[in-house]
Amino acid sequence: MPKTLYWMQGAGCGGDTYSFLNAEAPDPIELFRWLDIDLLWHPSLSNSSPADHRRLLEELTSGERRLDLLCLEGAILRGPAGTGMYDLLDGQPRKNVTAALARQANNVIAVGTCASFGGIGSRTEIEATGAQYLRDEKGGVLGADFVTRSGLPVINLPGCPAHCDALVGTLTALARGKPLALGAYNSPASWYGVLVHQGCTRNEYHEYRVEEHDFGEKGCLFFHVGCHGPLVYGPCNKLLWNRRSSKTRVGVPCFGCMRPDFPQEYPFFQTRNIEGVPKELPQGVDRAHYLAYKSMAAAAAPERLRYRETKV
């Protein structure tokens, strides 16, 4: 029997849909065919009438029709004053429809940082929230204790946007009934259990504190231009975009789009520091020891790193 999938698009830019459409091995059509998934609705891919969509929602929320996979894209709006009336679906607050669908779903996947944690609108009067988190606090629109019919919490795939391969892998595991180990913030550990820094091609520059003050150069971007690579867990340097690149590989700092507090309330491209030492340090690193170690490392940096060619 085919697995059924409904894609709910809330408040957001639609970037996670574009990311998903960028999947190529397999592409979305091949994926659905291979996994025997019946795509009931996607706002960019479906062409059923409003009446047919309304009937589909009634069947799904009542339990008359089975819902195996519910993908949520974009934040869920609770404003104004908790009513959800800023975002309506067929005359109802979308937050209510989303909650009704989630109660019937066997699995719920929050695709992207907005759906996972609330994103850019989480500190504004629109009262944006994620499905089961509001920034780093459990709760969201579904509540801290929510579990699906399969017994799992909402599976969060943060990113702005989420990487298509992480979504493809998650859908594959769930559709095939394979175990999916979850780590922090209920994100799949296979992709979100490593620091962005761990796959960065600039690691050697970081270890010897060979620092940059501008974009597009070869050294480490952590100390001056706000790179979050040593602070953020995510697959950016493991699942390369278009299978070839990431921000840090082209000389742009990671700005932490997978963090629950993204977008942060301080400048993106400026490292906050205390006496020249970054205010936020990698987990488990003591400030005093870090300062001593990095001073020695900078002095010991090989010439090939210190006298690198930068601008070309």
Domain borders along the chain are: 3-190, 194-312
pLDDT, mean of residues 78-105: 97
Strand, helix or coil at 167?
A: helix
The pLDDT confidence band at residue 309, using thresholds 50, 70 and 90, is low
* pLDDT value of position 304: 86
d(CA 134, CA 115): 10
Query: Does the domain spanning 3-190 belong to CATH 3.40.50.700?
Result: yes
Q: Are 155 and 184 in contact (CB under 8 A)?
A: no
Q: How many CB atoms lie within 10 A of CB 66?
A: 17
- Look at residue 93 and give its three-state secondary structure: strand
Report the predicted TM-score, pTM, of the whole model to 2 decimal places: 0.94
pLDDT digits (tens, 9 = 90+) for 216-274: 888 999 999 999 999 999 999 999 998 899 999 999 999 999 999 999 999 999 999 88
Q: What is the mean pLDDT of residues 54-78?
A: 98
> DSSP letters along 229-250, please?
TTT-B-STTTS-BTTTB-TGGG
Please give the CATH architecture assigned to the domain spanning 194-312.
Answer: Irregular (4.10)
The 10s digit of each residue's pLDDT in 153-164 is 999 999 999 999
Q: Give me the mean pLDDT over the 43-61 stretch.
A: 95
Query: Tens of pLDDT along 153-204?
Result: 999 999 999 999 999 999 999 999 999 999 999 999 999 999 999 999 999 9
Tokens representing 101 are 């669908």
Please give the Cα distance from 209 to 224 (Å, whole number). 11
Residue 71 above 80 pLDDT? yes
> In 177-226, where does DSSP find H-type helix?
189-192, 203-207
